[in-house]
Amino acid sequence: MKFYDWQLAPNPKRLRMFLVEKGITLPTEQVGGDGVKLRPEFIQKYPQATVPMLELDDGTCIGEAMAICRYLEELHPEPRLLGQDAKERAIVEMWERRAYDEGMVAAAEVFRNTHPAFVDRGVPGAAVAIPQIPALVERGRIRLDLFFDKFDRQLADNRFLAGPRFSVADITAWCSIDLAGFSSIGIPDRCKNLKRWQAEVAARPSAKA
């Protein structure tokens, strides 16, 4: 197996954190190139043109961070980061999807529609030019505000997002907040539970992955 990574991008960080939490080491290749773009050789190998990607020994290319994490969870079950039983797995997936749809996507709306390196690259992996949309920056900020409040409420009664155990939902939420930070947006002071969670996750070795 080989992990195609890009140190700068938010989604490979989800996988890097997962690997550290699991104690898994994989042969890794950095595929970022000039101009904040993926290297042409990587895009030729993998036209989906997104990271992370896991290449299996039979040549199969698995993309999408959570598909890779789920595959690795089956090969290395402990510690379980996708839930211990059917109900917990449902709760983990629910919060992971919300973290992605409401956190990561909102943070990406702000970042990709403002940053000069992403002019005409409004959507990751798209094979044609997609202009930035200034109105999405404002929408992304509103959505991030809603995301912070919703996740703060969930953490009022839960140590981690899906309950007492750290999971991929926490990883995706962490990486979303990390990406928001690239646009100088941080957790608002009113979100005390989320701040408490942030300090706890920051102390894990995986946070620096």
- Give the residues lining the site for its own copies (CB under 8 A): 48, 56, 60, 62-64, 66-68, 70-71, 74-75, 86-87, 89-91, 93-94, 97-98, 122-123, 126-128, 130-131, 133, 135-136, 139, 142-143, 146
Shorter beta-carbon distance to its own copies: residue 118 or 200: 118
Cα–Cα distance for residue pair 168/115, rounded to 1 Å = 28
In whole angstroms, the minimum distance from the beta carbon of 67 to its own copies comes to: 4
Helix/strand/coil for 61? strand
In whole angstroms, the minimum distance from the beta carbon of 180 to its own copies comes to: 17
Shorter beta-carbon distance to its own copies: residue 123 or 156: 123
Phi then psi for residue 109, to 5 deg, are -60, -45
Residue by residue, what is the 3-state secondary structure of 138-207?
Answer: HHHHHHHHHHHHHHHHHCCCCCECCECCCCHHHHHHHHHHHHHHHCCCCCCCCCHHHHHHHHHHHCCHHH
Shorter beta-carbon distance to its own copies: residue 135 or 203: 135
Shorter beta-carbon distance to its own copies: residue 17 or 162: 162
The three-point CA angle 27-33-37 to 5° equals 115
Helix/strand/coil for 135? helix
In whole angstroms, the minimum distance from the beta carbon of 161 to its own copies comes to: 13
Shorter beta-carbon distance to its own copies: residue 24 or 91: 91
Phi then psi for residue 131, to 5 deg, are -60, 150
In whole angstroms, the minimum distance from the beta carbon of 28 to its own copies comes to: 18
In whole angstroms, the minimum distance from the beta carbon of 91 to its own copies comes to: 7
